[in-house]
Structure 1
Amino acid sequence: MYLSFVEEWRFMKERLAQLDSLRGIAAVIVVLTHLIANALIAVMPGFLRQALTATLSPFSVLTNGRAAVISFFILSGFVLSLPILQEGRIHYSSYLVRRFFRLYIPYLAAIALSLIFYSLCRHHLPIGALSDDVNHTWLSIHPSVIWEHIIAVGSIHSSEIDVVIWSLVHEMRISIVFPFVVLLLKDARWFYSIAIGMALSALGIANSYFHWQTYEGMPTTLFDSLHYLNFFIIGMLLAKHRMAIIRFYTNLSRRIRIGVLAGAFIFYNYAIAPVIVLKEVVSKHAAIEWASYMMLGEWITAIGVIGFIVIALSSAAAKKLLTRRAPLFLGNISYSLYLYHFPIMLLLIFTLYGAVPLTLLMGISFTLSIGISYISYRWIEKPSIALGRFLTRERKKTTEAGYPAAN
């Protein structure tokens, strides 16, 4: 059955809420990854540490933050491409204004709060039991680093202020060019789009070997952005073929649907396993940095993310789960939660470590992160989004008529 434009719009608007919930769950996984890998692992019993970090443990999904970030990129590609695919054109100036107020203003607020936190504990001493990500952050922030973060789209010292912002650098860069990528590929066959995406990704992998451009902290080179653009393209393909995918999935038997869910989990959570094997084989013949293998693993992860998105769009059971209040709430605050949780964790560690048990401290950190993220969503994100819409209200019709802005 084919739907009219209005019917399809209503149909997809409902399912975009489910995708927001997926984004919220992914944000929580990133938070748990940082709380556990950077701090809690130091006080965990051995069996629990193994359960949460062992390569083949199903519970390691709770500390698989890198896979969660790949899901952010694919989801962004899906939602950003929808209006362009529907209209076949883009009001580019309006689009840029809205993306600026959607991404950059909340980002800038998070950087400002991180610098305030830094000023409160700038003379902290290293804590041997905790990770390098904790001990090497907020040591001494030079004004040039602050300026890099204000510019945001350059290659920055991404671990100096808020370690998570490396992905926002890519998100903002890719947002600038992505409408043109969608227009270029919207009429292309899916395998051509995949081939182009993989070629772009291959350039990113090659840079990690040849070092045409280097980075400080997390990978933020332009070549890395080409690699991550591949996942935006995957999101675009899912958006382009969304109705056919939904029809195909709903015609599958229950047994096959369960297989799709299991396969999605395996690809999502165990992508690192074949990469480790590949590294062992290749390292006997060539010295290739771990970053190259990680990028290959992200291709595998993307298959799992695709599976989860298809299920979220197509499954009645997934709809029931993902449209409950808790997942929808997490979806709403996901951007702020991603931005704020790491600085909050650092502030609590550097001011209260030793005075408060670490387990309790991380529990407080998680709770504060949720609370501050809601405040940010309510008083920074929503007004900023509204301002962007107000400034472009007469120039942009698509979003007002239907699809909400992406996170």
Structure 2
Amino acid sequence: MPITIAPPRSASLLKTGSSIRFPAHYPALDSLRGLAALSVFLGHFLGTCNEDNPLIQAIRKSPIAMLCNASSAVLLFFVLSGFVLALPYINKERPLPLLSFYVKRVSRIYPAFAFSIILALFFQQYLFNAAAMHPFSGWIKSLWTWDIRYSFKEIRKTFGLGIIPFNLRIVNPVFWSLVVEMKMSLLLPFFVLIARKLNAPLNILLLLVLIFKNGINSGTLFGLFYMGILLAKYKDNLLSFIQRFPPLILIGIAVVLYSTRYLFHLESHRGVIILYMVGMGASIFILMLLQPSRIANLFSSKPLHLFGKWSYSFYLLHIPFLLVFCTLFSNNYTLSLIYILACTFIGTTLISAVSYQYIELPFLVLGKRLVEKYKRYDHIRL
């Protein structure tokens, strides 16, 4: 049954001959990124609690656990990133100027990353109290155990964002995904070039090679990004295919694939098959938001879209806030979980909004100005 529902307010369809071209930017995908960041936060919040807590045990065994699926949410980030970055270039709708692409990626990723390091160091030095962490889980207690006087060299390496190998957990454990993102940003133009030239069978073969060669190495999750690139290349064909199915069937398939680890109680969430089942579930979610539907309208709503814009900073900042509020409310552990959850979410959201407005946006503008000013030197176009 085809999906015939109202088009999203944010998107107008452009007809070219017999094919339908969709807009290059989808607000609903910003919202999806925001919900994924929220899922990571909820997963890390649950991670602060001891496993013997009856409430936490009940949550982990309930469908609510799927909303706290931090590992799957990060994998969704990677697929979505490959899709969004490749979309303007994959079908040669515009040339891919290499230097400009890199300048824009650095101006997008690095400023908020550097700000999050500085804020985390300030919190660790002046607001965090390791002695108050005893009621919490071993995972959260293992963070911020360092003394800045003896760890300064390692902390300094963190600012290199993977140029020099550094301890990924010393400042903020989510930084591992930023290192992966930066590596993939360097290689993505060449993957786009390869995906353009290969036909569908060869693209699928290359995807399988990337999956089984690099799938379990957290530093080289290239298969997930390539999955996003192929999603961009074949989106029209895939959209035509999924329109044959009722929306509820698609949602059900996507949820099962995306939540494989929780639904089947699989211990290893880093196995190749599990990783890419999650990637396929994420791909279905993305495709469903590309087509006109009530779901796309909902995801394009202003509150969700706004939170989606803040989601990058939210993702980077939620761990420092979580650690601080854990120490502040640790004396009354029975009630403190509610306070920690509420205060961490509110505090992180507020500072994320500030970070987006006064750090992310100005540096994005600066990146565009640099690209415009020095475009005469950008001779390599893919």
Common topology (TM > 0.5): yes
Letter in 2 for 1:384: F
Task: Give the alignment partner of residue 257 of structure 1, picking from 243, 247, 250.
Answer: 247
Point out where structure 2 has 5 or more consecutive residues left out of the alignment: 1-12, 377-382
Q: In structure 2, how many angstroms separate the alpha carbons of the residues matched to 1:125 and 1:18?
A: 43
Partner of 1:358: 337
**In structure 1, how many angstroms separate the alpha carbons of the residues matched to 2:309 and 2:339?**
26
> Which of residues 304, 326, 329 in structure 2 aligns to 1:327?
304
Structure 2 counterpart of 1:29, which letter? S
Identify the residue that residue 158 of structure 2 maps to in structure 1.
Answer: 149
- Alpha carbons 1:24, 1:330 under 8 Å: kept: yes
Q: Corresponding residue for 2:4?
A: none
Quick one: structure 1 residues 191 and 37, their matched pair in 2 at CA, closer, same or farther if it must change by over 3 Å? farther
Change (3 A) 1:361 1:122: closer
- CA displacement 1:125-146 (0-9 Å, x = unmatched): 2633312232111111512221
The answer on 1:234 being equivalent to 2:245 is: no
- Structure 1 segment 366-405 matched on structure 2, within 5 A: 366-393=345-372
User: Is the contact made by 2:128 and 2:323 (CA closer than 8 Å) also made in structure 1?
Assistant: no
Question: Separation in 1 of the partners of 2:255 and 2:99?
Answer: 39
1:12 aligns with 2:2: no
Alignment of 1:302-313 (within 5 A): 302-313=279-290
1:212-247 CA distance string (max 9 Å, x none): xxxxxxxxxxx4332x11111111111111222223
Larger mean Cα displacement after TM superposition, 29-38 or 379-388: 29-38
1:386 is displaced (CA, Å) by 0.8
What one-letter code is carried by the residue in structure 1 that aligns with 2:158? H
- Name the counterpart of 2:60: 53
d(CA) in 1 for partners of 2:100, 2:355: 24
* Displacement after TM superposition at 1:187 (Å): 2.4
SS of 1:186 mapped into structure 2: helix
Q: Hey, what's the Cα distance between the residues in 2 that align with 1:225 and 1:8?
A: 37
Using structure 2 for the length normalisation, give the TM-score.
0.85
Note if contact 2:83-2:230 (Cα within 8 Å) is conserved in structure 1.
yes
The 1-side partners of 2:210 and 2:34 are apart by 28
How many matched pairs? Answer: 356
Q: 1:21-60 residue pairs with structure 2 within 5 A?
A: 21-39=31-49, 46=54, 48-54=55-61, 57-60=62-65
Residue 210 of structure 2 is matched in structure 1 by 200
CA 237–65 in structure 1, closer or farther in 2 if over 3 Å, else same: same
How big is each residue's C-alpha offset from its partner over 1:86-137, in whole Å with a ceiling of 9 and x where there is no partner?
4364211111111111001110111111111111146622633312232111
Q: Report the secondary structure of 1:139's partner residue.
A: coil
The alignment partner of 1:300 has SS state of helix
1:117 aligns with 2:128: no
Contact 1:89 1:183 in 2 (8 A): no
Contact in 2 for aligned 1:193/1:233 (Cα 8 Å): no
Structure 1 counterpart of 2:15, one-letter code: L
Of 73, 82, 107, the residue aligned with 1:77 is: 82
Distance 1:122 1:20, change over 3 A: closer
SS in structure 2 at match of 1:156? coil
| Separation (CA, whole Å) in 2 of partners of 1:106 and 1:358 | 28
Match of residue 3 from structure 1:
15
Confirm whether residue 270 of structure 1 aligns to residue 277 of structure 2. no
Instruction: Report deviation, 1:203.
Output: 2.9
Q: Show CA shifts across 1:255-274 (max 9, x none).
A: x3321111001111124555
Would you say the 8 A contact 2:127–2:324 is kept in 1? yes
Separation in structure 1 between the aligned mates of residue 78 and residue 179 of structure 2, nearest angstrom: 12
Q: How far 1:50 sits from its partner (Å)?
A: 3.9
Deviation at 1:173, TM superposition (A): 1.0
Percent identity between the aligned chains?
A: 26
Contact 2:258 2:277 in 1 (8 A): yes
**Gap runs ≥5 in structure 1:** 209-222, 280-289, 398-407
Equivalent AA in structure 1 for residue 176 of structure 2: W
- Structure 1 pair 275–236 and aligned structure 2 pair: CA distance change class (3 A): farther
Kept after mapping to 2: 8 A contact 1:174/1:225 = no
SS of 1:353's equivalent? coil
- Counterpart of 1:212 in structure 2 is none
The whole-number CA distance in structure 1 between the counterparts of 2:81 and 2:51 is 35
Aligned equivalent of 1:245, options 228, 234, 238: 238
Q: 1:114, 1:161 within 8 Å by CA — same for their partners in 2?
A: yes
TM-score w.r.t. the length of structure 1 is 0.80
Identify the residue that residue 10 of structure 2 maps to in structure 1. none
User: Map of 1:144-183 to 2, 5 A cutoff?
Assistant: 144-153=153-162, 154-183=164-193
Give 1:4's aligned amino acid.
T
**SS in structure 2 at match of 1:3:** strand
The answer to whether the 8 Å contact 1:275/1:296 transfers is no
**Correspondence for 1:129:** 135
Contact persistence 1:110–1:340 (CA under 8 A): yes
Structure 2 vs 1, CA of residues 246 and 197 (structure 1 numbering), >3 Å: closer, same or farther?
Answer: closer
Structure 2 counterpart of 1:225: 219
Distance 1:296 1:108 in 2: 34
> Contact 1:137/1:159 (CA < 8 Å) preserved in 2?
yes
Distance 1:72 1:121 in 2: 31
RMSD: 2.7
Relative to total residues, which structure has the larger helix share, 1 or 2? 1
Q: In structure 2, what is the Cα distance between the partners aligned to 1:249 and 1:270?
A: 21
